[in-house]
Amino acid sequence: MMDILVKTLMWGASLVLLLAYFFGVTLRKPFKTVAMHFLMVLAVHAVLSAVAILLTKHGQSIKFSGQQGSPGLAAALLLGVKLYMAVLMIFLLNFFAALAQKGVSSMAQFHTTHNAANLDRQPVRGFLRHQRPIVRGYQALFMVGGVFMLWALWFRFR
């Protein structure tokens, strides 16, 4: 019972963080800001991965089953890994949500610059008229996917 309560609280907290970052940063700041945040997280991830590889080469490993250490330590390590994965997922999803905006605006700029003769023909005309709903649709798909990915992380990952 306590386990399901902790998982539900952590899932709710990570959803709040996902949506807060989306509405507070992704929708309000330029793409460059979101990309820099993502690159910083990626750099930290690369360093941590290199450290983990070096530790594994020298015989150090983490067992989540609690066979080598206490079950409490294994549970704490698993919680730490889940928190780390949730943070990575939040930044990754928001980067791609911002990338959708940047990609649609770049495509529209390309068509207005290099395809001016066909701006009144379909599907270019429909695309140019409905840029905002297209971007919102992509971003909604990323956020809904994020809800399910975070659910799977907290409730299915063992």
Q: What is the 3-state secondary structure (H, E, C) of 92-148?
A: HHHHHHHHHHHHHHHHHHHHHHHCHHHCCCCCHHHHHHCHHHHHHHHHHHHHHHHHH
Mean pLDDT score, 110-117: 89
Mean pLDDT score, 136-158: 94
Per residue in 53-79, pLDDT (tens digit) is 998 888 877 655 545 667 777 778 888
The total number of structural domains that make up the chain? 1
The pLDDT value given to residue 72: 76
* Model confidence band, residue 121 (pLDDT cutoffs 50, 70, 90): confident
Domain range for 149 is: 2-155
